[in-house]
Amino acid sequence: MDKDDKLLINHFKDLSVRAGKSGYAAYSDFLGLNEINILQNNASLYSSKYILYGGYKDALRIMAAFVPEDNDDEIFFPIAYLKIEPAWKQNNIKLTHRDYLGSILGLGITRGKVGDIFVGDDASACAIVHESIAGYVIANLSRVGRCDVKCSYIEGGSFKALQKYEEKNLTISSARLDCVIAAVYNMPRSKATSVIGSGQCFVNGKEIMSTSKLLNGGDVVSVRHQGRFIYYSDNEMTRKNKLRATARIFK
């Protein structure tokens, strides 16, 4: 474990203690896959329970809310939803996730204050950010790439509507992680094994290095440099004793 990992664990421990002493939830910034993995692998060190949320059900970047054990109040995460769009209609404008993220971070905002960003077909985007910096982004984000933009608050439902995915039917020998990844991304089983063994695969935010890990319906799988999908299966078998399953692959 390196120094940064230890600092992060100590930060989580501090949040859990703060929640216990104050009686109120204490929130982390948005966490990436490695940070979520560290959080979950060290759960026994925290004095308070935690809840994960990133603004919508299948968020990739999520916050942790540490909550006192006796607190049954509804938790309101400090999250804001923003719509970023060209200031006027411009033809042949193509903006990417990298363009939007780079422009937001270019305002001096740290990565931990920015959650998921979805880019629409019309070059507009919806971004989830920490509510403490939402007003600053709206007031100061005027350009993304070579495009003048405007920014405003939106409701969370508008963000969810921009999610893009395709559903792929799978016929696999088993629900083993290596089998599923190979089928979803059309790669040889040997390559899937290598991807998993090199620590590039996360299931429900936890790093998995075992190729024999069996997936359950609803598991969210993230593979570095490939993407993310949700695995679904009711364990129906074909006549040739193959497993039928479905993957919802996010674009």
167-211 confidence digits (pLDDT tens): 999 999 999 999 999 999 999 999 999 999 999 999 988 889 999
Split at pLDDT 50, 70, 90, the class of 246 is: very high
Answer yes or no: do 205 and 220 share one domain. Answer: yes
**% the chain with pLDDT above 90:** 70
Token look-up 């982004």 returns 137
Token look-up 């993995």 returns 37
Give pLDDT, residue 251: 74
Domain boundary among 107, 129, 160: 160
Give mean pLDDT, residues 246-250: 92
Give mean pLDDT, residues 77-88: 93
CA dihedral 64, 68, 71, 72 (to 10 degrees): 40
- Global pTM reads 0.79
161 vs 172: CA distance, rounded Å: 31
Give pLDDT, residue 89: 76
Give pLDDT, residue 180: 97
Specify whether the CB–CB gap between 45 and 86 falls below 8 A. Answer: no
pLDDT at 214 over 80: yes
Residue 72 lies in a domain: no
Split at pLDDT 50, 70, 90, the class of 113 is: very high
Q: Residue 130 is part of a domain; what is its CATH number?
A: 3.30.70.330
Residue 141 lies in a domain: yes
Give pLDDT, residue 222: 92
Domain boundary among 140, 160, 180: 160
Answer yes or no: do 46 and 92 share one domain. Answer: no
Q: Which segment of 34-38, 127-131, 177-181 scores lowest on mean pLDDT? A: 34-38
Number of helices (H), then strands (E), belonging to the chain: the values are 7, 14
Specify whether the CB–CB gap between 83 and 69 falls below 8 A. Answer: no
Q: Which of the pair, 122 or 16, is modelled with greater confidence?
A: 16
How many domains is the chain built from?
Answer: 3
Answer yes or no: do 148 and 189 share one domain. Answer: no
Give mean pLDDT, residues 11-24: 94
Specify whether the CB–CB gap between 30 and 62 falls below 8 A. Answer: yes
pLDDT at 94 over 90: no
**% the chain with pLDDT above 70:** 97
Give pLDDT, residue 121: 75
Q: Write out the two tokens for 20.
A: 């216990």
Q: Residue 241 is part of a domain; what is its CATH number?
A: 3.10.290.10
Average pLDDT, the chain: 91
pLDDT at 118 over 90: no
Structural domain for 33, as ranges? 3-67
